[in-house]
Structure 1
Amino acid sequence: MESAIPAHLETPRTRHKRVPDDYQPPYPSFVARYKPGVSRVVMAYFGVQHRGAVSAAATEALAEISRLFAGEGGPTHCDRAHYVDQAGHANIVSVAYWDDIARFDAWFAPAREAWTGASRDGIGTFIEVLRPAVARHETLFSSLGRPEGVAAIAEGMSGEVQEHAYWGGMRDRIPLSQTDPMSPCGNPELIRDGARLRVKAHDNLCLIRSGQDWSDTEASERKLYLDDVEPVLREGMDFLRDDGLGIGCYANRYMQVLSADGKASEKSYGQSWWRSLAALERWAESHPTHVKIFGAAMKYLSTLGPSAKLRLYHEVTVAAADEQFFEYLNCHPKTGMLAAVETAVA
């Protein structure tokens, strides 16, 4: 049994784990392992927002970001997903990951100008970037063999880890939690730069990407997931999207991953911005919407046992103030972190 925290990031604890040292989790889970020389990673969300059918301008923008990703200094891994937001706008988000900050910085300056530097006919564009120290970040996977998200740029995966299957495991997997409560400080502020709107968030903003992959499931398991689990998950995701601000969730997207040809795949993920890790933990542990999700998932997994082929994963980051960048052009006021400063936008 390994610790989720890599050996080179272990420090004497001043804040204790939620479980004793001899805790044995009831089922296996795994985390991504980066090369020891990787001190920071980059996760960058490039969004296109439009109403109705995909326009020529949206198609052109998507082709442009693909070209930028494929160019010099581009990401090690990227994927693309789609969702319809609370204002009825379709959003297609291309997510890219780097493990080399210098390479990203050289790539990002011209890419930013290309993406949010000029208006496009009838569409909005946005950029949301975190570049956290690896000590501020954790991942978790229910199975091996198919890394998703930021784990796709890791060197590999761990063996079975101890810190999971209990409330507080998410925090205990973040190396910084050994000594720091990671409490938020300050409030989001809006910065206007011509037509561009930037959001300056605050220290210890939290991001979670939590995904599901049912592509390996067979008929009966697929029906059980799509009929009994997915609707409950969607209900919780819709609550966070529409009413999350009251519990510390600035914005939530429930995304369907797109395949290389642009068609919907059998993968989805929720992606949300939170005021703090503590706010995310409170929702996960006690809010009725997540209690219902957890109950549906446990019933599903207890019914199928080890034969379950559904793959689950997540990545969680608690970012310092200087590790964040949010910029929006011609997007509605509830888009991403604009929702945190909506009155100022309006």
Structure 2
Amino acid sequence: MESAIPLHLKTQRTRHKRVPDDYQPPYPSFVARYKPGVVRVVMAYFGVQYRDVAPAAAMEALAAIGERFAGEGGPTHWDRAHYVDQAGYTNVVSAAYWDDIARFDAWFEPSREAWTGKGREEIGTFIEVLRPAVARHETLFSSLGRPEGVAVIADGMSGEVQEHAYWGGMRDRIPLSQSDPMTPGGVPELIRDGARLRVKAHDNLCLIRSGQDWSDTEASERKLYLDDVEPVLREGMDFLRDDGLVIGCYANRYMQVLAAGSRASEKSYGQSWWKSLAALERWAESHPTHVKIFGAAMKYLSTLGPSAKLRLYHEVTVAAADEQFFEYLSCHPKTGMLAAVQSAGA
């Protein structure tokens, strides 16, 4: 049994874990392992927004960012997903990952100007970037063999880890939690730069990407997931999308991953911005919407046992103020982190 925190990030613990040292989790889970030389990663979300049928400008923008990803300095890995937001707009989001900050910095500025530097008819564009130290970040996977998101750029996966299957495991897997409460500081502010709107968030903003992959399931398991679990998950995701601000969720997207040719795949993920890790923990532990999700998932897994083919994962980051960048052009005022500020009166 390994610790989720790698040896080179172990420090003297001044904040206790939620479980004793001899805790044995009831089932296996795994985390991504980076090379020790990787001290920071980049997660960059490039979004395009439009109503109804995708206009030509959206298709051109998506093709252009794909070309930039494939060019000099582009990400080690990227994927694309879409969803319809609370205002009825379709959002297509390309999530890109780097493990080399210098390479990202050289690539980013011209790419940023191309993406949000000029308006396009009928569409909005946005960029949301975190560049956290690895000590501010954790991952968790229910199975080996198919990394997703930021874990694709890691060196590999761990063996079975101890810190999971209990409330508080998410925090205990973040190396910084050994000594830091990761309390949020400050309030989000809106900065206008011509037509571009930037959001300056605050210290210890939290991001979670939590995914599901049912592509390996056979007919009966797929039906069980799509009929009994996914609708409950969607209900919770819709609550966070529409009413999450009252519990500290600034924005939530429940997205379907797109395969080659923009076909819908049998993968989805929720991506949400939170005021704090503590706010995310409170929702997970006690809010009725997540209690229902957890109950449906446990019933599903207890029914299938070890034969379950559903794959689950997540990545959670608690970012320092100087590790964040949010920029929006021609987007509606509840897009992403714009929802966290009173843009109408700013």
Cα shift at 1:344: 3.9
Asked if structure 2 preserves the Cα contact closer than 8 Å seen for 1:334 and 1:342, the reply is: no
Q: Gaps spanning 5+ residues in structure 2: where?
A: none
Does residue 90 (structure 1) correspond to residue 90 (structure 2)? The answer is yes
Specify the code of the residue in structure 1 equivalent to 2:310. Answer: L
Give, in whole Å, the separation in 2 of the partners of 1:52 and 1:82: 13
Alignment of 1:15-26 (within 5 A): 15-26=15-26
Give, in whole Å, the separation in 2 of the partners of 1:343 and 1:140: 35
Asked if structure 1 preserves the Cα contact closer than 8 Å seen for 2:83 and 2:91, the reply is: yes
Specify the code of the residue in structure 2 equivalent to 1:327. Answer: E
Which position in structure 1 is the counterpart of 2:50?
Answer: 50
Specify the code of the residue in structure 2 equivalent to 1:93. Answer: V
Which position in structure 1 is the counterpart of 2:162?
Answer: 162
Name the count of aligned residue pairs.
346
Asked if structure 1 preserves the Cα contact closer than 8 Å seen for 2:144 and 2:157, the reply is: yes
Give, in whole Å, the separation in 1 of the partners of 2:6 and 2:38: 12
Q: Any idea what the Cα deviations from partners look like across 1:134-167, whole Å, max 9, x if unmatched?
A: 0000000000000000000000000000000000
Give, in whole Å, the separation in 2 of the partners of 1:59 and 1:261: 12
Give, in whole Å, the separation in 1 of the partners of 2:54 and 2:157: 38
Report the secondary structure of 2:53's partner residue. coil
Cα shift at 1:209: 0.1
Give, in whole Å, the separation in 1 of the partners of 2:344 and 2:204: 22
Which position in structure 2 is the counterpart of 1:34?
Answer: 34
Which position in structure 1 is the counterpart of 2:132?
Answer: 132
Counting aligned pairs with the same residue, the percent is 88
Give, in whole Å, the separation in 1 of the partners of 2:185 and 2:155: 33
Asked if structure 1 preserves the Cα contact closer than 8 Å seen for 2:190 and 2:343, the reply is: no
TM-score normalized with structure 2 length: 0.99
Does residue 145 (structure 1) correspond to residue 159 (structure 2)? The answer is no
Specify the code of the residue in structure 1 equivalent to 2:41. Answer: V
Alignment of 1:167-178 (within 5 A): 167-178=167-178
Give, in whole Å, the separation in 2 of the partners of 1:129 and 1:344: 24
Give, in whole Å, the separation in 2 of the partners of 1:344 and 1:334: 11
Specify the code of the residue in structure 2 equivalent to 1:181. Answer: P
| CA RMSD of superposed structures (Å) | 0.7
Specify the code of the residue in structure 2 equivalent to 1:339. Answer: A
Cα shift at 1:345: 6.2
Give, in whole Å, the separation in 1 of the partners of 2:201 and 2:192: 14
Give, in whole Å, the separation in 2 of the partners of 1:263 and 1:342: 36
Q: Any idea what the Cα deviations from partners look like across 1:198-230, whole Å, max 9, x if unmatched?
A: 000000000000000000000000000000000
Give, in whole Å, the separation in 2 of the partners of 1:185 and 1:53: 41
Asked if structure 1 preserves the Cα contact closer than 8 Å seen for 2:9 and 2:175, the reply is: yes
Does residue 295 (structure 1) correspond to residue 283 (structure 2)? The answer is no
Asked if structure 1 preserves the Cα contact closer than 8 Å seen for 2:39 and 2:134, the reply is: yes
Asked if structure 2 preserves the Cα contact closer than 8 Å seen for 1:41 and 1:100, the reply is: yes
Cα shift at 1:182: 0.1
Give, in whole Å, the separation in 2 of the partners of 1:136 and 1:335: 25
Which position in structure 1 is the counterpart of 2:275?
Answer: 275
Give, in whole Å, the separation in 1 of the partners of 2:95 and 2:298: 30
Which position in structure 2 is the counterpart of 1:113?
Answer: 113
Cα shift at 1:260: 1.6
Which position in structure 2 is the counterpart of 1:265?
Answer: 265
Does residue 223 (structure 1) correspond to residue 223 (structure 2)? The answer is yes
Report the secondary structure of 2:28's partner residue. coil
Give, in whole Å, the separation in 2 of the partners of 1:280 and 1:114: 34
Specify the code of the residue in structure 2 equivalent to 1:2. Answer: E
Q: Any idea what the Cα deviations from partners look like across 1:10-66, whole Å, max 9, x if unmatched?
A: 001000000000000000000000000000000000000000101100000000100
Give, in whole Å, the separation in 2 of the partners of 1:185 and 1:17: 23
Give, in whole Å, the separation in 2 of the partners of 1:55 and 1:344: 27
Give, in whole Å, the separation in 1 of the partners of 2:255 and 2:345: 25
Cα shift at 1:176: 0.0
Alignment of 1:66-105 (within 5 A): 66-105=66-105
Q: Gaps spanning 5+ residues in structure 1: where?
A: none
Alignment of 1:235-254 (within 5 A): 235-254=235-254
Specify the code of the residue in structure 1 equivalent to 2:247. Answer: I
Report the secondary structure of 1:229's partner residue. helix
Report the secondary structure of 2:260's partner residue. coil
Q: Any idea what the Cα deviations from partners look like across 1:78-137, whole Å, max 9, x if unmatched?
A: 000000000000000000000000000000010000000000011000000000000000
Over 3 Å counting, the alpha-carbon distance change for 1:53 and 1:345 in structure 2 is: farther
Give, in whole Å, the separation in 2 of the partners of 1:190 and 1:311: 38
Which position in structure 1 is the counterpart of 2:204?
Answer: 204
Report the secondary structure of 1:261's partner residue. helix
Report the secondary structure of 2:341's partner residue. helix
Does residue 337 (structure 1) correspond to residue 341 (structure 2)? The answer is no
Give, in whole Å, the separation in 2 of the partners of 1:344 and 1:115: 24
Does residue 62 (structure 1) correspond to residue 29 (structure 2)? The answer is no
Q: Any idea what the Cα deviations from partners look like across 1:238-297, whole Å, max 9, x if unmatched?
A: 000000000000000000000021010000000000000000000000000000000000
Does residue 8 (structure 1) correspond to residue 8 (structure 2)? The answer is yes
Report the secondary structure of 1:312's partner residue. strand
TM-score normalized with structure 1 length: 0.99
Give, in whole Å, the separation in 1 of the partners of 2:11 and 2:82: 40
